[in-house]
């Protein structure tokens, strides 16, 4: 490589960027059953506030020809129906008058949240659901508008790091021929942490972004509090060190990943997990170059040894914004009909088994009764960075595969974006007896098909694949 080409550069975007946040904490007493083993149905208190945070991205010219991209992170568990998700997202699309390729709503996937599904209105605490659902919609519209109104010239820079919060959770049961869902110390987990930083023209931090893959399952059946799980303390750590600039969390491909210390009722454990991720993100921020700067080789200084010198110099980052939406068709496994599942639920008195059947019925209602499911996936180009939005709970293989294929770009990979459609495990574990395999409605090979579709989208967005 010629010396003139020897530079180290981060993925960056320069344009108009706005950030805003709204509170979406549900009321105490709302139906908040997320665990089959739970002995309660309603929330009895609040651990930390639940929030929705929006970031809008526009071309540098205030009158740019293209509509904004709107990236939203929401403290919520999962959508229990297509209608629930569309009730929120359609309102944003109509309010901003933009098409569906340009809005991504990512769920943090906390398991200590409340239900927003009207099917549970007749359950204990269900009388609060309709109002909470409207609160989610109104706050999401308001935060998107506020972010647009706050937009100013800024730079979004990205850098990778690591954090060992996430651990593999597909543990072979030592007492039975099955795989159970919990910490598996013998397997290395994907520990990739991607951090974004938004700085104004003076270099002050306006916002941060954390993209990390780990199930927020610290708090489980013994917890009776509404909580963002580890995400809340993570935000607190980062924001306290960045003059309270909002931190937007994006859940990565965490199908088989969870915290080592989880399934507890103590909120302090969730805060401990969050601090671990927050401090890891701060370490990444500390090592980032100033905005719009690259590290360039400066030649040799002859000393006791010939020493290579590198210096920071300014450069002009990319200003390109592009969004595409593609249809992905995936084959489904044979599944019982809704009527069959309703009959089983009616005949089941065990709360844990009943919860499993209710979830299976919800999945069946969402995916329909056909042999395949067609739905969108999304790809964005934000300067030199790339972003994938998909509705599944994909295993981390997906983000590892895509990032390996495009090593020169920062790649934001997200689960549970614009929907909630079930797990995508790797094909080679479909013969195992484990939760993610028998929970998913999708057949063997669907994770790999999704990987093919993601890589093709990024190629169409102009990314250069690994040679």
Domain regions of the chain by residue span = 3-292+378-460
Classify residue 410 by its DSSP letter: -
pLDDT band at 62 (very low <50, low <70, confident <90, very high): low
Q: Which of 130, 133, 40, 30 is nearest to 79 (CA)?
A: 133
Per-residue tokens: 138: 């109104």
Percent of the chain clearing pLDDT 90 (strictly above): 86
Average of per-residue pLDDT across 336-361: 80
Average of per-residue pLDDT across 323-343: 89
- Residue ranges of E strands in 303-403: 306-314, 321-331, 372-382, 385-389, 393-394
CA distance readout (Å), 365 to 64, 362, 416: 41, 5, 17
C-alpha to C-alpha distance for 94 and 115, rounded to whole angstroms: 24
Q: What is the pLDDT of residues 227-269, one digit of tens each?
A: 999 999 999 999 999 999 999 999 999 999 999 999 999 999 9
Containing 121, the helix (H) or strand (E) segment is none
Percent of the chain clearing pLDDT 70 (strictly above): 98
C-alpha to C-alpha distance for 276 and 269, rounded to whole angstroms: 11
Per-residue tokens: 84: 């629930």
Average of per-residue pLDDT across 365-391: 91
pLDDT band at 365 (very low <50, low <70, confident <90, very high): confident
Q: Is the pLDDT of residue 318 over 70?
A: yes
Q: Is the pLDDT of residue 351 over 60?
A: yes
Look at residue 61 in the predicted model and tell me its pLDDT. Answer: 64
Q: Is the pLDDT of residue 362 over 90?
A: no
Classify residue 219 by its DSSP letter: B
If one counts every other C-beta atom within 10 angstroms of the C-beta of residue 23, the result is: 12
- Does 84 or 362 have the greater pLDDT score? 84
Q: Is the pLDDT of residue 364 over 80?
A: no
Sign of CA dihedral 459, 386, 67, 22: positive
CA distance readout (Å), 449 to 278, 330, 331, 465: 33, 8, 10, 18
Average of per-residue pLDDT across 78-98: 96
The string of DSSP letters for 163-196 reads -TTEEE-EEEPTTSSSEEES--TTS----EEEEE
pLDDT band at 63 (very low <50, low <70, confident <90, very high): low
Look at residue 64 in the predicted model and tell me its pLDDT. Answer: 59
Look at residue 155 in the predicted model and tell me its pLDDT. Answer: 98
pLDDT band at 348 (very low <50, low <70, confident <90, very high): confident
Look at residue 371 in the predicted model and tell me its pLDDT. Answer: 86
Q: Is the pLDDT of residue 94 over 70?
A: yes
Q: What is the pLDDT of residues 134-149, one digit of tens each?
A: 999 999 999 999 999 9
Displacement of CA 407 from its chain's centroid (Å):
20
- Computed over every residue of the chain, the mean pLDDT equals 94
pLDDT band at 1 (very low <50, low <70, confident <90, very high): very low
pLDDT band at 338 (very low <50, low <70, confident <90, very high): confident
Look at residue 190 in the predicted model and tell me its pLDDT. Answer: 98
pLDDT band at 3 (very low <50, low <70, confident <90, very high): very low
């Amino acid at each position: 490589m010629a010396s003139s080409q020897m530079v180290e550069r981060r993925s960056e975007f320069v344009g108009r960027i706005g950030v805003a946040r709204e509170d979406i904490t549900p009321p105490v007493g709302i139906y908040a059953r997320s665990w089959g083993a739970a002995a309660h149905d309603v929330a009895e208190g609040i651990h930390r506030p639940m929030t929705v945070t929006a970031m809008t991205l526009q071309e540098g010219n205030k009158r740019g020809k293209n509509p904004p991209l709107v990236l939203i992170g929401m403290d919520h568990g999962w959508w229990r129906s297509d209608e629930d998700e569309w009730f929120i997202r359609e309102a944003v699309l109509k309010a901003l008058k933009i098409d569906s390729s340009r809005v991504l709503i990512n769920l943090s996937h906390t398991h200590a949240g409340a239900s927003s599904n009207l099917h549970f209105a007749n359950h204990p605490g269900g009388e609060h659901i309709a109002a909470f659902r409207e609160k989610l919609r109104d706050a999401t519209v308001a935060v998107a508008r506020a972010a647009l109104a706050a937009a100013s010239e800024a730079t979004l820079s990205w850098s990778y790091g690591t954090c060992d919060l996430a651990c593999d959770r597909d543990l072979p049961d030592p007492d039975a021929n099955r795989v159970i869902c919990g910490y598996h110390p013998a397997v290395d987990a994907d520990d990739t942490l991607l951090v974004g930083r938004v700085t104004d023209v003076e270099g002050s931090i306006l916002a941060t972004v954390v993209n990390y893959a780990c199930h927020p399952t610290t708090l489980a059946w013994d917890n009776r509090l509404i909580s963002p799980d580890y995400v809340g303390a993570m935000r607190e750590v980062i924001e306290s060190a960045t003059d309270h600039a909002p931190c937007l969390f994006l859940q990565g491909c965490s199908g088989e990943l969870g915290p080592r210390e989880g399934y507890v009722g103590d909120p302090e454990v969730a805060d401990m997990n969050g601090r671990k991720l927050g401090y890891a993100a701060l370490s990444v921020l500390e090592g980032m170059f100033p905005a719009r700067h690259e590290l360039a080789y400066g030649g040799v200084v002859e000393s006791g040894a010939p020493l290579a010198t590198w210096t920071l110099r300014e450069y002009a980052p990319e200003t390109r914004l592009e969004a595409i939406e593609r249809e992905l068709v995936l084959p489904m496994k044979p599944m019982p009909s809704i009527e069959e599942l309703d009959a089983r639920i009616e005949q089941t008195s065990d709360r844990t088994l009943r919860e499993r059947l209710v979830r299976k019925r919800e999945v069946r209602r969402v995916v329909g009764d056909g042999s395949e499911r067609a739905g969108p996936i999304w790809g964005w180009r934000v300067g030199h960075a790339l972003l994938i939005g998909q509705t599944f709970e994909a295993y981390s293989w997906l983000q590892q595969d895509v990032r390996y294929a495009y090593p020169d770009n920062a790649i934001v990979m997200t689960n549970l974006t614009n929907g909630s459609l079930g797990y995508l495990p790797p094909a080679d574990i479909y013969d195992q007896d484990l939760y993610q395999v028998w929970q998913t409605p999708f057949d063997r090979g669907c994770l790999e098909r999704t990987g093919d579709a993601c890589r093709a989208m990024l190629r169409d967005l102009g990314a250069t694949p690994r040679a």
